[in-house]
């Protein structure tokens, strides 16, 4: 059963965005909500269907997670501390540090923070109209799914409308 979208937005997405201190807007919220609606149908599954590596409601791949750290967060200590502040003690790696990869699946706040970081790194500004679902889908396709990814703007729009309302 999917996560209630109002609860996800109110109890997770908005507070995480505020805590990160990045420019927060209705566009960012809707883009993140649309990503969850499309990628996992708001949590119907948290492991990639078909056995791929993506995890969590945003279906982020470990390689993307690692890239966000190695090429962005590791050079921004204040922002990295805010993101890492969402990590829980468990699950942990064998050395006892939080298992960031597994926390994409088990920790909604951390997964939301990483989804926002992924979009924040995009070279183009987010769409200006928070209600233009086609523009949100186009941005998702370019900067989250990537042009080589299997997803389509049409699928994003359909899932957005189905799970979040038009």
Kindly indicate the confidence band of residue 166, based on its pLDDT and cuts at 50, 70 and 90.
Answer: low
Angle between helices 26-40 and 108-120 (to 10 degrees): 110
Rounded to whole angstroms, the Cα distance separating 76 from 83 reads: 11
Number of domains in the chain: 1
pTM (two decimals): 0.96
Give the position of tokens 């995480």.
16
The closest of 66, 115, 107 to 90, measured between CA atoms, is: 107
Helices (H), the chain: 5-7, 14-20, 26-40, 62-70, 77-84, 100-106, 108-120, 133-140, 153-164
24-80 per-position pLDDT tens digit: 789 999 999 999 999 999 999 999 988 889 999 999 999 999 999 999 999 999 999
User: Domain range for residue 60?
Assistant: 5-164
């Amino acid at each position: 059963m999917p996560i209630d979208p109002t609860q996800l937005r109110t109890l997770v997405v908005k507070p995480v965005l505020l805590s990160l201190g990045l420019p927060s807007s209705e566009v960012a919220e809707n883009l993140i909500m649309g990503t969850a609606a499309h990628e996992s149908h708001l949590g119907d599954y948290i492991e990639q269907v078909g056995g791929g590596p993506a995890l969590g409601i945003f279906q982020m791949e470990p390689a993307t997670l690692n890239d966000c750290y190695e090429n962005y967060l590791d050079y921004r200590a204040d922002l990295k501390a805010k993101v890492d502040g969402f990590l829980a003690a468990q699950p942990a790696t064998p050395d006892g540090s939080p298992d960031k990869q597994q926390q994409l699946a088990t920790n909604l706040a951390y997964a939301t923070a990483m989804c926002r970081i992924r979009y924040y790194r995009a070279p183009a500004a987010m769409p200006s109209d928070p209600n233009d679902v086609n523009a949100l889908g186009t941005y998702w396709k370019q900067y989250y799914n990537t042009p080589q990814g299997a997803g389509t703007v049409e699928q994003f729009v359909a899932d957005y409308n189905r799970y979040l309302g038009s």
